[in-house]
Amino acid sequence: MVHICFVGYGISSPWNEGKRVVSRNIIDALKKYTDLDISVVSTLGKKEGKMKGVVYVNTTWLTRYTRHYDILRDAAMIRLINSINKRKNIDIIHLLNAHFPVFAFYGKRIKKPVVAQFFGNPNFNNLKRVRVPKSVNLYITTSIENKWFNDLGINNFQCVNPPINTKLFKPIDKVTARKKLNLPEDKFILLYIGNLSEVRFSPDFIENVKFLREPNNLLLILPNLVDTDWLKKSNILHNKNVILRKEILSEEQKALIYNAADAFILPFSKEMNSYKHVFVIDPPITMLEAMSCGVPVIAPDVFSIPKIIKDEYNGYITPLGDFEKVDAILHYMSKEEGKGINANARMTIINDFSYEKVALRMKRIYEGVLNG
């Protein structure tokens, strides 16, 4: 039996960050839909919860002062990998959110193939060549838009869609969902889940979307992280049609909230493309989860999004920062049921992003790595 050892930092709960969600979903999908033997080595912070089937090492005091590069933590993880290799004979080391050069060098030392995972377009900096060691056998990216690999000098890569749990994120009755969440049943609810920052959530969005000033419409925001400086500058909290709930959501709660919404929005700033050091999971996981629940998504034409959402077929695409068009779409949606778009959004995820489809593709990729 082929044994895959996943290595990554912070593969733990709570699930409020995209890399953790994708990492966990990849592992879960492979366990459920392949015969691969899986082991996972990760780190655990003081406020994090353990995930079943993961072997953990604790983060150390160094992490706070070294921008998360912790040589003591990495050494402890390597000792755990050594132990697993002696007991089970690892066939491939799959690096998730981990320090590629350290673990790629270790893989080369013990003569094990190494696969390294990207979660979207990486932050470029002066050390970008060091961060993508040539000793890695294959790089995998969740991003369909992959021209940036040329900038990194990488030719050995494969694109794999991030898996979505379509059995959890599925359509349920909207009235039932709203009752459980104490949300009004008679209003149009627009949902945003994600970071509240100038780039991820444009201040112009609230100002330019007149739809949100009408009494029968609500914007529900559930942020993972809040940029307090941006929050002070914006008028978001002064709009009575905006509900801001800062809390860590379970996956079940997220599925319920998606189903309570009439539409999901990604209000990225028009400055998004000029911020070279803003990292966004590509494609956005919340977008895919909403689509899996049959919720129409309104999203800008950046990253891999236009290759997934086809305008007026399974969602709505707008030019980046064009909130007047968003306003027009919301007014249209409030008058039309759009059940065809809801169903098409759900089928897009089932056909291309389901656990089973992604797991089988991953297994074929591993077989290719082992066969050279």
Contact between residue 285 and residue 253 where contact means Cβ atoms under 8 Å apart: no
Same domain, 128 and 15: yes
To the nearest 10°, the Cα dihedral for 129, 133, 138, 140?
Answer: -50
**48/65 Cα distance (integer angstroms):** 20
pLDDT for res 67: 58
In a domain, 264, yes or no: yes
Lookup: tokens for 338: 């759009």
CATH number at residue 241: 3.40.50.2000
The whole-number average pLDDT for the span 108-132 is: 76
pLDDT digits (tens, 9 = 90+) for 143-172: 988 777 877 788 899 999 999 999 999 999
Residue 92 in 3-state DSSP? Answer: strand
The whole-number average pLDDT for the span 103-107 is: 96
pLDDT for res 233: 66
| 13 DSSP β-pair partners | 49
Query: Residue 215: which residues within 8 A CB-CB, separation 6 or more?
Result: 241
Same domain, 196 and 331: yes
**Phi/psi of residue 193, each to 5°?**
-125, 125
**Binning pLDDT at 50, 70 and 90, where does residue 125 land?**
very low
Same domain, 181 and 313: yes
Contact between residue 39 and residue 3 where contact means Cβ atoms under 8 Å apart: yes
Single-letter residue type at 330: L
Closest CA to 326 of 300, 305, 304: 300
In a domain, 169, yes or no: no
Query: Residue 337: which residues within 8 A CB-CB, separation 6 or more?
Result: none
The whole-number average pLDDT for the span 275-290 is: 82
Same domain, 285 and 364: no
Lookup: tokens for 136: 């890695």
Same domain, 216 and 237: yes
Same domain, 94 and 143: yes
Single-letter residue type at 13: S
In a domain, 121, yes or no: yes
What is the percent of the chain where pLDDT is above 70? Answer: 91
Range of the domain at 334: 174-351
Same domain, 124 and 199: no
**Binning pLDDT at 50, 70 and 90, where does residue 127 land?**
very low
> Over 90: is that where the pLDDT of 356 sits?
yes
In a domain, 213, yes or no: yes
> Over 60: is that where the pLDDT of 276 sits?
no
Same domain, 54 and 154: yes
In a domain, 104, yes or no: yes
Contact between residue 24 and residue 165 where contact means Cβ atoms under 8 Å apart: no
In a domain, 112, yes or no: yes
pLDDT digits (tens, 9 = 90+) for 28-75: 999 999 999 999 999 988 888 898 999 999 877 666 565 567 888 899
Lookup: tokens for 183: 């949300």
Number of independent structural domains in the chain: 2
Same domain, 233 and 285: yes
Same domain, 136 and 82: yes
What is 174-202 written as a DSSP string?
HHHHHHHHT--SSSEEEEEEEEESTTTS-
Residue 57 burial (10 A CB sphere; 0-12, 13-18, 19+): buried
Closest CA to 354 of 39, 25, 108, 79: 25
Same domain, 237 and 316: yes
In a domain, 168, yes or no: no
pLDDT for res 245: 86
pLDDT for res 123: 55
Which of residues 10 and 6 earns the better pLDDT score? 6
pLDDT for res 279: 66
> Of 23-37, 99-113, 134-148, which range is least confident?
134-148
pLDDT for res 247: 80
> Over 70: is that where the pLDDT of 278 sits?
no
Which of residues 150 and 102 earns the better pLDDT score? 102
**197/230 Cα distance (integer angstroms):** 6
Q: What is the pTM of this model?
A: 0.94
Contact between residue 107 and residue 93 where contact means Cβ atoms under 8 Å apart: yes
> Over 70: is that where the pLDDT of 129 sits?
no
Lookup: tokens for 254: 């997220």
Same domain, 126 and 24: yes
In a domain, 124, yes or no: yes
> Over 80: is that where the pLDDT of 342 sits?
yes
pLDDT for res 126: 41
Single-letter residue type at 294: G
Lookup: tokens for 236: 């978001």
The whole-number average pLDDT for the span 312-338 is: 93
> Over 50: is that where the pLDDT of 203 sits?
yes
